[in-house]
Structure 1
Amino acid sequence: MASVWKRHPRYSILLVVLLLATCFVLVPSGPHEPPFKHMSFDDTTPDIKQRFALSEAFYEKALADRAALLKRFGPRPEDVETFPDHDKPYTIWNFFPAAFNCPYEVRHLGTLADGGKWVCGLSRLEQEPDCIVYSFGTICLSYVYLIARLTGTVLTGISGDSTFEAELLQNTKHCKVWGYDFSVKGFTNDIPENERWRTNFHAYGLAGKDRPATTNDPAMYSLQTLMAMNGHDHIDLLKIDIEGWEFETLEGLIEPYLLSGEPLPFAQLQLEIHVWDMPFASFLKWWEMLEAAGLRPFWTEPNLVYVDYAKATPSLTEYSFINIKGDNVVTRPARSHRLPPPPPRHPHGP
């Protein structure tokens, strides 16, 4: 073999050049740290606080990207169109990606059509002894209602859907569901009879402020009032689909908590947003209120059923949020349970 190199020295030179080139490509020129570490959900990242810290770093990057996109197409929020013409390659939803990572598994519950929702860490709810779920706009298929309203069609009957609630009950041991929807009389037959004892239904509406029922309008209650009526101090999962009233309702719900500094009383929020012709600046202000309260989106998908039926822009979009503030079933470490509330004070005590 050595004789080959002696007879053909150019082979030796070529080999040396190739080795040097390989080393130049593979060996870094200096210390290099990636901007973010890869998220891992196995035993190498056991600390839930570490997972949240990593996700928050990702989310900070998304906020910077939003500012850059706003500068490009604004620069003022008032200059940004919700759904611009074809000369501007964006929609409002590009400014608000679901950039936070659920620290557990993400699972879809309910029908794959309109009515299903994406949930963070259903495994955390499976054995939770005092699991509480609130579901607003529980029954009606929203796109049917919306198309009827937009076209002036008179509905003779609405096909209902309770598959989300049914699948949640079937996959948890102790969860109880409180459903509220003034447009129907109760849950559908999607929920089997042997699970009905874990459901409660009232024909109330959700609003920012309480309003008694009138001849033409149903009773409306704030979330705080309903929780007090039910004797609840927490909600593990809150689902809201109230056909455009989510802006006023969540503003009335969240503002007191922002003022007091207390965390929101729910661990995660499954929300359908009906932006329609809302100005971008107004939506941005509302969304930043959600972020200030500790809500982080981990999943989103447009309601394409509505787009198909209405032949319209994707004005309806599903978002799933987790609440990163306070002690709740998502933020506390696995295999630990909620701290019991302090005992009530005696009325004549100190």
Structure 2
Amino acid sequence: MLQEKQFGTPYFNPWDEVMYYWWYFPASFVCPHDIQHVGRLSDGGKWICGMSLYEEKPRAKCVMYSFGINDNTHYEGEMLDRTDCEIFAYDASVTSMGPEATGPRAHFKPYFIGSTNRVDENGNTWKTLKTIMQENGHDWIDILKVDVEGSEYGTFDSIMEDFGDVLPFTQLQIELHVREDMVSFGDFLKWWERLESRGVYPWWTELNLNPTYYGQRDWASEYCFLNTRGGAKNILIQNYV
């Protein structure tokens, strides 16, 4: 079937009705702990692997990063309520976190995450994950949330270059965007395989159906990844290695 569809050539159509784009990238791994939904039941909510472990974990060892919050911080607010984690949120399109996410454990700066450190033509500040972690004095992130509207590919290319074979987070909640003006199928496939080569595997996915309401293809999907590396820093694999 793939040969008939000219897979591997420029003529391949990942939106074909027989083999739909997202079918090529299933969430084929398994979270070895409890799975709980955090945040509102729509765009912005996330599924957490081992939520009960974070609820028990001491604050000094629980760190969350959230890139891309826009006007929705229900997820961050619920995590603050249910855990003792500290949250470091970044988004240059807003001036603060929402009223759901306040207090001494909520930290916000108006930065975009990107592949380089720079200030763009609009005056927005962009910083790499490595730079931000150095500024915060962190060497590991328990939960990393990324929703950056298509710039995730260049950002994670930089992260993989900066950190090598062991990426600095336990789990990743990310919205992936595959609109044609954001990434080609071939480049997405290479990016996906490169992430998996670092021991980071998907265990949950759900489509963002908002584009469907406007007559568009389903070009965005939420994914949850588990890092199988990190040793003692990674609370989710300590009993499974």
Q: Structure 2-normalised TM-score?
A: 0.91
1:176 and 2:176 correspond: no
Q: Give the corresponding residue for 1:156.
A: none
The letter for the 2-side match of 1:301 is E
The superposition leaves residues 60-88 of structure 1 with CA deviations (integer Å, 9 ceiling, x where unpaired) of xxxxxxxxx7456334254431213xxx4
State the identity %: 38
Within a 5 Å distance, the mapping from 1:184-333 to structure 2 comes to 184-191=94-101, 196-211=103-118, 213=119, 216-258=122-164, 261=165, 263-277=166-180, 278-308=183-213, 310-327=214-231, 328-333=234-239
Indicate the structure with greater helix content: 1
Cα deviation for residue 332 of structure 1 reads 1.0
Per-residue CA deviation, residues 1-35 of structure 1 (Å, 9 max, x unaligned), is xxxxxxxxxxxxxxxxxxxxxxxxxxxxxxxxxxx
Instruction: State the Cα deviation string for residues 106-149 of structure 1 (Å, max 9, x = none).
Output: 111000011101111111211222100000002x2xxxxxxxxx
3-state secondary structure, aligned to 2:104: helix
Q: 1:90 maps to what in 2?
A: 19
Q: C-alpha separation between the residues in 2 aligned to 1:210 and 1:245?
A: 14
Tell me, yes or no, if the aligned pair for 1:137 and 1:180 is still in contact at 8 Å.
Answer: yes
Q: Alignment partner for residue 78 of structure 2, among 141, 151, 167?
A: 167
RMSD after superposition: 1.7
Superposed, which structure 2 residues align to 1:126-145 within 5 Å? 126-129=55-58, 130-138=61-69, 140=70
Letter matched to residue 177 of structure 1: I
Whole-angstrom CA distance in 2 between matches of 1:274 and 1:214 = 22
More strand by share: 2
Which residue of 13, 31, 35 maps to 1:81?
A: 13
Q: For each residue in 1:225-269, what CA deviation from the matched residue of structure 2 results, as whole angstroms up to 9, or x when unmatched? A: 0000000010000000001100110011113434xx3x1110000
Q: Aligned in 2, Cα 1:185/1:225: closer, same or farther, shift over 3 Å?
A: same
Alignment partners' CA distance in 1, 2:168 and 2:115: 15
Q: Find the aligned partners of 1:107 and 1:227 in 2 and give their Cα distance.
A: 27
Instruction: Specify the SS of the correspondent of 2:19.
Output: coil
Task: Count matched residues.
Answer: 234
* 1:108 matched residue in structure 2: 37
Specify the alignment match of 1:3 in structure 2. none
Partners of 1:182 and 1:203 within 8 A in 2:
yes
SS state at 2:78 partner: helix
User: In the superposition, relative to structure 1, how do residues 285 and 70 fare at CA in structure 2: closer, same or farther (>3 Å)?
Assistant: farther
CA distance in 2, matches of 1:119, 1:74: 37
Q: Distance in 1 between matches of 2:202 and 2:120?
A: 37
Report if the CA contact (8 A) 1:70-1:77 is conserved: no
Matches within 5 A, 1:53-72: 70-71=2-3
Confirm or deny: 8 A CA contact 2:130 2:162 kept in the other structure.
no
When residues 133 and 210 of structure 1 are mapped into structure 2, their CA distance, relative to the original with a 3 A threshold, is: same
TM-score (norm 1): 0.64
**What's the offset of the Cα at 1:161?**
1.3
SS at match of 2:52: helix
SS at match of 1:239: strand
Q: Is the 8 A contact 1:78 1:280 kept in 2?
A: no
Question: Which amino acid is 2:219 matched to?
Answer: S
Structure 1 unaligned spans of 5+: 1-68, 141-159, 335-350
Please tell me whether the aligned partners of residues 80 and 281 of structure 1 are also in contact (alpha carbons under 8 angstroms): no
